[in-house]
């Protein structure tokens, strides 16, 4: 959708969107040290939220998720898959947008009265190489910022719960999701991969066991050594082999791992 | 909802339901030999479908799924979790309900004109001990029947795709989902558990490796021997330990397995 269409009356006309359903994106990044999440701050208000939006009547839901993420954060074509749909009755209780007199919140309420009605939201998980991302806030937001997950504050609606559910799924499907492929640079050391696992699982892992387990899965290719410092101590670099990974998915990686 | 409410004008009034969203249940059973799926046949029509329905405006989505499953099949309180939301634009193309002149299809079209509009559907996976289930068709259906997955025929809408996606998730989360707990009798032999895995993964598994892998996960308790035939050959019985399983989920079963 072009910017005119988005800012014009088209965007504010509920007839252009599927009723009852929204999309919220949990965008996760890793700086080789900590997990981060990409958040928007609503214009002129102290309200933080996940990048989200509605499904146009003429688009697939998955396309809607890509479009929303691109429009609201500038991030294009990352790993993006739906992970859960949130449909509790009370999910938008204590709606801070209703209590805010920021111009944006007022505009929301006036232009989209159906925002005050119940809708369910499908959560999409996006895994992004944050060092190559350039988050850009849209015209509804003051900022679009990577926040370390450890310092995550209160978000609007049930967005904290949506984040928790996404992290739970990453934890439980850690070998099944292409986390290394999406969150790390193209080539990485086993140590960097291990830190990523440790951050997700929230515990220290044994180095030798980790390496054995991961290599056994068979979807990492070993490349040249990382040439830094003494060559005899240099660690090998690894890269994610997408074909082998997809082959494993076909066979049922849950059992094989 | 009582039967009067369900069959009366209340049920046919779209104002009582969340617009844009339906629920479809993929109910899987196992007879110690083959996987089965529970299907409804629409009254007076050769149309087979998943048990499904709509979300009432005053209920949580998860409660809606339990209610729908109970109303349409008689099955109460099984393992039931959402697994994916289907939102493709063309998901209800070639809508056989529109081309059917069965009284039920005509009633559907007349009473719920919004059924012809686009809606997304959240799929729920239910795992049922089929030997203890008594499927009962509702008043919209001729029958409610366990069909072996291998002989699954063409279903309405995108229901075959919903089934395929459910099976893909079971395959990839085979240790993560409580399949043994839900699909097997309370106590079972390692051989029975292995056949279940083989049916899901669609391949033969090595007996010794399987036993080692499964016992290492730590969520099976060994009980007495199954007393049949010569006692020295009798296999041990196992049962699923729910506490240990939940503990593993907390820790991240995806990595541990």
What 3-state class would DSSP assign to B18? strand
- Chosen for mutation from A87, A176, A209 (greatest number of chain B CBs closer than 10 Å) is A87
* pLDDT, tens digit (0-9, with 9 covering 90-100), for B135-188: 999 988 999 999 999 999 999 989 999 999 999 989 888 877 888 888 999 999
Task: List CB contacts of A202: < 8 A, sequence separation 6 or more.
Answer: none
- Chosen for mutation from B14, B17, B20 (greatest number of chain A CBs closer than 10 Å) is B20
Min Cα distance B229 → chain A (Å) is: 32
Min Cα distance A228 → chain B (Å) is: 31
- Give the lowest-confidence range in A3-17, A80-94, B60-74, B79-93: A3-17
ipTM value for the complex? 0.85
Closest residue in A to B248 (Cα–Cα): A172
- B254 vs A57, A60, A175: nearest CB: A175
Could you tell me whether strands A35-42 and A79-86 are parallel, antiparallel, or unpaired per DSSP bridges?
A: unpaired
Q: What is the pTM of this model?
A: 0.88
* pLDDT, tens digit (0-9, with 9 covering 90-100), for B216-237: 888 899 998 877 666 567 899 9
A88 with B20: Cβ contact below 8 A: no
DSSP B187: S
> How many angstroms separate the CA atoms of A129 and A187, rounded?
12
pLDDT at A222: 94
**Per-residue pLDDT band at B114 (split at 50, 70, 90):** low
> How many angstroms separate the CA atoms of B145 and B138, rounded?
12
Report A:79-118 residues touching B (Cβ under 8 A): 82, 84-89, 118
Tell me how long chain A is: 257
Taking CB atoms and an 8 Å cut-off, how many pairs form between chains A and B?
113
* pLDDT, tens digit (0-9, with 9 covering 90-100), for B4-42: 455 566 767 778 888 889 999 999 999 999 999 999 998
pLDDT, mean over chain A:
86
CB of B26 closer than 8 Å to CB of B166:
yes
DSSP letters spanning chain A: --HHHHHSTTTT-GGGEEEEEEEEEEEEEE-SS-EEEEEEEETTSS-EE--EEEEETTS-HHHHHHHHHHHHH---S-EEEEEEEE--TTTT-S-HHHH--SHHHHHHHHH-GGGGS--EEEEEEEEE-GGG------TTEEEEEEEEGGG----STTHHHHHHHHHHHHHHTTTTS-HHHHHS-SSEEHHHHHHHHHHHHTS---HHHHHHHHHHH--EEEEEE--SS-GGGPPEEEEE-HHHHHHHHHH-HHHH-
Min Cα distance A184 → chain B (Å) is: 18
């Amino acid at each position: 959708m072009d910017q005119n269409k988005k800012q014009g009356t088209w965007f504010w006309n509920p007839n252009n969107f599927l009723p009852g359903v929204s999309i919220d994106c949990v965008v996760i990044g890793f700086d080789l040290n900590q997990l981060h999440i990409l958040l928007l701050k609503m214009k002129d208000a102290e309200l933080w939220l996940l990048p989200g939006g509605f499904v146009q009547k003429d688009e697939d839901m998955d396309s809607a998720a890509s479009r929303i993420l691109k429009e609201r954060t500038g991030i294009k074509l990352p790993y993006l898959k739906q992970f859960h749909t949130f449909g509790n009755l009370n999910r938008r209780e204590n709606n801070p947008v209703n209590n805010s007199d920021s111009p944006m919140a007022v505009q929301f309420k006036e232009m989209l009265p159906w925002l005050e009605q119940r809708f369910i939201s499908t959560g999409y998980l996006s895994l992004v190489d944050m060092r190559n991302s350039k988050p850009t806030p849209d015209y509804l937001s003051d900022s679009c910022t990577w926040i370390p997950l450890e310092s995550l504050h209160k978000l609007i609606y049930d967005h904290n719960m949506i984040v928790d559910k996404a992290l739970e799924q990453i934890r439980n499907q850690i070998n099944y999701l292409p986390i290394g492929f999406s969150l790390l640079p193209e080539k990485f050391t086993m140590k960097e991969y291990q830190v990523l696992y440790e951050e997700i699982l929230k515990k220290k892992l044994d180095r030798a066991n980790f390496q054995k387990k991961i290599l056994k899965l068979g979807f990492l290719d070993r490349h040249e050594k990382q040439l830094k410092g003494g060559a005899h101590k240099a660690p090998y670099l690894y890269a994610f082999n997408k074909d082998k990974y997809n082959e494993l998915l076909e066979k049922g990686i849950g059992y094989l791992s």
